[in-house]
Homo-oligomer: A and B are copies of this chain.
């Protein structure tokens, strides 16, 4: 069963109606703090959550955050930073530290950059070094092959692709590291907002690929972090 240190309730009397029950012990159980998914929350809700988390953790993150969210958080946490491409707000108590862990993020095209950046910001918050190699879609294979030595240096490889989502299959046949596939909603028509890429990645003929939700750069980064810390 859960040990007291793993539960917030060991520290305070929980209030049933509290609309924000921050899981401040998630880092103890899972190795990373709870993050705030800002989309669909008010700036006040995001700020309140970030402030509570900042009291329990050294580094915190909000994803899918707009500038309005960022401005509100910045008033309460002046050291917070907003990356507009990644749509992420980060805050650190201390200067960033770097571990020896190395991840590589590949992507098919420039339109995948917001997802790439979300993953990158998350990984760097965990102290992981990131090589981002964008625009290496399979229509011009040599672009990928040129960077194979760089890619093989990484302990985990994240691959973002929209449209037909073929890149993880090709990469999975070239490297021995775990491959995390991130389908993106880039494309139109019968891509059905990322469904085509998602199905392709789930059916990859290269085995050993773990797939996350469409456009879920954050989730891919957390999986990479779990892998690198295991």
- Taking CB as reference atom, which chain B residue is nearest A193? B189
Tell whether, in the assembled complex, residue A142 and residue B6 are in contact, meaning their CB atoms are under 8 Å apart: yes
Contact B110 A203 (CB under 8 A): no
B223 near A133 with CB under 8 A, answer no
Query: Which residues does chain B contribute within 8 Å of A80, judged by CB atoms?
Result: none
- The B-contacting residues of A in range 33-91, CB under 8 angstroms, are 34-35, 37, 39-41, 45, 49, 64
A174, B110: Cβ atoms closer than 8 Å? no
A interface residues, Cβ below 8 angstroms from B: 1-2, 6-9, 14, 16-21, 23, 25-26, 29-32, 34-35, 37, 39-41, 45, 49, 64, 108-111, 113, 131-143, 145-148, 150, 155-156, 163-166, 169-170, 172-180, 183, 185-216, 218-219, 222-223, 225-227, 229-230
Report whether B172 and A205 are in contact in the complex, using a CB–CB cutoff of 8 Å: no
A18 to B103, CA, bound (A): 17
Complex Cα distance, B40 from A192, in Å, reads: 16
Can you show 23 pairs from A to B with CB atoms below 8 A apart? A1-B146, A2-B141, A17-B131, A17-B132, A21-B135, A23-B139, A26-B173, A30-B172, A30-B206, A138-B170, A163-B204, A164-B165, A165-B200, A166-B166, A166-B169, A176-B229, A187-B203, A197-B200, A199-B200, A202-B213, A210-B210, A210-B223, A211-B211
- Name the distance in Å between A45's Cβ and chain B's nearest Cβ: 6
Complex: A210 Cα to B219 Cα, angstroms? 9
Closest to A143 in B: B21
